[in-house]
Chains A and B, each alone.
Chain A
């Protein structure tokens, strides 16, 4: 079955760059789906971060745009998120997710999430 699995450092120092990867299995990353990142601070709601297509289309949350890089590595069947200048406000569970082939506006499968804490 289709599975998404986030991987990342768990702990990031303030001002550093967060790098997360989402491994995709059970489906071709070069198919019709878009791939996205969403985060959730502890006890708070969801925040969409960015969405990417394997051939390069990228869409960013305007409030985070200047700090985000999102990309797809088709050879490894994974996509990645880099978030620069991390602060305590970026502490959250980070989810990767996929869209269906038919729409970029929803996520029909999510990874289990990975907790990222920003602390010195």
Chain B
């Protein structure tokens, strides 16, 4: 398994939009649509935000959206709010029902 790559950090002011990319290969992100995103606040367990590239679980605001093009998946947070300040992780199916996470992106709300 090779690592997924994403920016270490992104920032934005309240109300703005930020996009986090997650780049893999044809063996993982580009393989199928089993890409998910998780939000993690400091000291807390991760929370599912997006699954199957662009689906939102019940209760997740529609400010969070996901997409994918080729070997790169993206998470967009619109209307940035102070509570969005957290770490965000991309996760992809990497074949044979194995999973791979990326290194995480810290979102800072200025």
What does the 1/0 interface line of A42-79 toward B look like (CB < 8 Å)? 00111110010000000111110000000000000000
A15 CB to nearest B CB, Å: 26
The dominant DSSP class at the A interface is: loop
Binding site for A on B (CB under 8 A): 1, 34, 36, 38, 45-48, 51-52, 57, 89, 91, 93, 96-104
The docked-state distance in angstroms from the alpha carbon of A111 to that of B38 is 14
A112 cross-chain contacts in B, Cβ below 8 A: 45
Given A63-B1, A106-B91, A108-B57; A46-B101 close (CB under 8 Å): yes
The docked-state distance in angstroms from the alpha carbon of A108 to that of B98 is 17
A101 CB to nearest B CB, Å: 13
A47 cross-chain contacts in B, Cβ below 8 A: 101
The answer to whether A35 has its CB under 8 Å from any CB of chain B is: no
Given A106-B34, A111-B45, A112-B45; A48-B51 close (CB under 8 Å): no
Count: A-B pairs, CB below 8 Å: 65
Q: Is the CB of B99 within 8 A of A45?
A: no
B10 CB to nearest A CB, Å: 16
A113 cross-chain contacts in B, Cβ below 8 A: 45
Given A48-B99, A110-B45, A113-B45; A105-B34 close (CB under 8 Å): yes
The docked-state distance in angstroms from the alpha carbon of A78 to that of B104 is 29
A51 cross-chain contacts in B, Cβ below 8 A: 97, 99
Considering the complex, give the chain B residue whose CB is closest to the CB of A113: B45
The docked-state distance in angstroms from the alpha carbon of A61 to that of B99 is 7
Interface residue count on the A side (C-beta < 8 Å): 24
Considering the complex, give the chain A residue whose CB is closest to the CB of B95: A62
Q: Is the CB of A106 within 8 A of B48?
A: yes
Q: Is the CB of A48 within 8 A of B91?
A: yes
B48 cross-chain contacts in A, Cβ below 8 A: 106-109
The docked-state distance in angstroms from the alpha carbon of A110 to that of B96 is 23
Q: Is the CB of B38 within 8 A of A103?
A: no
Q: Is the CB of B34 within 8 A of A103?
A: yes
Given A46-B38, A46-B104, A105-B36; A110-B46 close (CB under 8 Å): yes
The docked-state distance in angstroms from the alpha carbon of A111 to that of B34 is 22
The docked-state distance in angstroms from the alpha carbon of A62 to that of B27 is 14
